[in-house]
Amino acid sequence: MKKYQIYEKMPAQINHAVSKAPTDVAEIAKDMGFEELYIYKTSNKYDFKSKLKRQFTYFKDWRSAYKSIENNSALLLQHPFRTRQLGREKYLKKLKEKKSVKIISLIHDVEELRQSLFNDYYKEEFESMLNLADVIIVHNDSMLDFFVKKGFDKNKLVNLNIFDYLRKDYQPAVPEYSENITIAGNLDVKKATYLKDLNTIQNNFILYGPNYSLHDYKNCKYHGIVPTSEMPNKLKSGWGLIWDGTRVDTCNGPTGNYLQYNNPHKLSLYLSSNLPVIIWDKAAEARFVRDNKVGITVSSLRDISDKFNNIDELKYEEYAENAKKIGEKLSSGFYTKRALEKALIDVLN
């Protein structure tokens, strides 16, 4: 069976966390023999001429992809597609009907669950995916249950478990014992409102990312903006935090509630650095953290100090060694390869 993948090329591929996950998936799939077929986005401008050129290019690229794909092949798509693309649905339907192509859809986000961007476009994109996909790779068991409730056949769903985080410079070094807690990501308190209350938490935090404004907080140290490719090399000690929403005593709001369904790429960043993690106990990935003994779960950030009272250097090293085992897998694309292999078996059956 011939294998292809649709890879979207943006006008300026910026090196940040938003683009790393799909780029890693594409690279892993390429190594597995999925031939890349490019769909180009010509610009981010929204004047009439730019939009016309963009849609013309989309149509031309989808038509070219259709012509390139052989009968009875497998095609990998990464969802959601963030923009309307002339020809996309037409040629995907035609691939299934005329060429008996099997479609594997790998999920990055479900906007209905995330809510912040959910609108008619994303509703249509999601429904189109459900109708076209032969197999869907979802984040975890919680997201899998959501798809089953949407009417998708459970036997055609594959659990990714965690996103990989490819690293050519991966080092199997165990981080140093520390009670410092790293937060990496967008530090805008308007988006991650819980950050404004970090000064009410007893622990010390190290923060990386844009939009930092907590300069007066004595328990917070800012280490600047670091490119995605360099970030893992900065994480040499302590813990990584996976938290979101408006409060420090629970994860709430659209972004906080989304943790109950998604695989945060931040978790992959920390574990690919062999760093033990702290995660909300109701997050979907809390189970992964507990099962693999790579960190602790808490219902509130105020509980961290009590947890730390029961973690000495020896216990920390145990968590770090387990994190290293997962980190080695993440850096080589283990979980994506496994999910794609399972998806290929499923489409053949």
pLDDT tens digits for range 64-78: 999 999 999 999 999
CA distance 321 to 92: 45
- Same structural domain for residues 42 and 86? yes
Residues linked to residue 272 through DSSP beta bridges, in sequence order: none
Total residue length of the chain: 349
169 belongs to a structural domain: no
- Same structural domain for residues 142 and 212? no
171 belongs to a structural domain: no
Quote the pTM value: 0.95
Residues linked to residue 207 through DSSP beta bridges, in sequence order: 183, 222
pLDDT < 50 stretches in the chain: 13-17
- Same structural domain for residues 252 and 125? no
User: Beta 237-242 vs 176-184: how paired, if at all?
Assistant: parallel
- Same structural domain for residues 233 and 245? yes
- Same structural domain for residues 193 and 113? no
The one-letter code for the residue type at 174 is V
Closest CA to 284 of 251, 316, 312, 248: 251
CA distance 283 to 137: 19
pLDDT at 12: 63
Q: Which residue bears the tokens 């249950």?
A: 145
Instruction: Spell out the alpha helix ranges (H) of 69-140.
Output: 88-99, 111-114, 120-132
Show the tokens assigned to 55: 């849609």
- Same structural domain for residues 242 and 309? yes
- Same structural domain for residues 220 and 287? yes
Per-residue pLDDT tens for 278-328? 999 999 999 999 999 999 999 999 999 999 999 999 999 999 999 999 999
Q: Which residue bears the tokens 């591929």?
A: 13
Residue 244: Cβ within 10 Å count: 24
- Same structural domain for residues 43 and 71? yes
Q: In what order do the strands lie in the sheet with 135-138?
A: 35-40, 3-9, 74-79, 102-107, 135-138, 157-159
- Same structural domain for residues 267 and 291? yes
Q: In what order do the strands lie in the sheet with 237-242?
A: 220-222, 205-208, 176-184, 237-242, 277-280, 295-298
pLDDT at 338: 98
Virtual CA dihedral for 34, 37, 42, 48, nearest 10 degrees?
A: -120
The one-letter code for the residue type at 15 is N
Number of folded domains in the chain?
2
170 belongs to a structural domain: no
Q: Indicate which CATH number applies to the domain containing 112.
A: 3.40.50.2000
- Same structural domain for residues 328 and 196? yes
Q: Which residue bears the tokens 């609108």?
A: 119
The one-letter code for the residue type at 187 is L
Answer for the pair 210, 195: CB distance below 8 angstroms, yes or no: no
CA distance 207 to 185: 8
Give the single-character DSSP code of 59.
H
Range of the structural domain that residue 72 is part of: 3-164+333-348
CA distance 96 to 35: 18
